[in-house]
Amino acid sequence: MAVVSVSTMTLRPGSYEAFKEQHRRAKAVLEFCGAKNVRLLGTLLAGEGTGAIALTWEADDYAAYGAVMDRVLNDSAGRALVMELTSPDNPVMSFQGSLWADIPV
């Protein structure tokens, strides 16, 4: 059963270019650590969420998701990225993470 990590974000005004550079690095780290299908999605029409950005990536199951996260936190580039994401200079103003799973029908 596929597991999808979804992080929705709102950017600080004027930080779009900085965010794109940060995402390039994040994508490289995630893929190096085993994440699949890493994508950046932008809203077109979303009511209150218009203008939000979503970062998604997939793992085969919960164990694979945990393995990716373990690798990110044990990788020096991954740890540096996590520290950057929590700094006051981060281009992201608000962030919400969620984990989704396929529902067999």
pLDDT, tens only, 29-59 = 999 999 999 999 988 776 777 778 999 999 9
- Predicted TM-score (pTM) of the model is 0.88
Q: Which of 57, 68, 49 is nearest to 9 (CA)?
A: 49
Q: Look at 92 and 46; give whichever has higher pLDDT.
A: 92
The partner residues of 42 in beta bridges, in order of sequence, read 53
Q: What integer pLDDT is reported at residue 47 of this predicted model?
A: 73
State the chain's maximal CA–CA distance in angstroms: 44
Domains and CATH numbers, the chain: 3-101 (3.30.70.100)
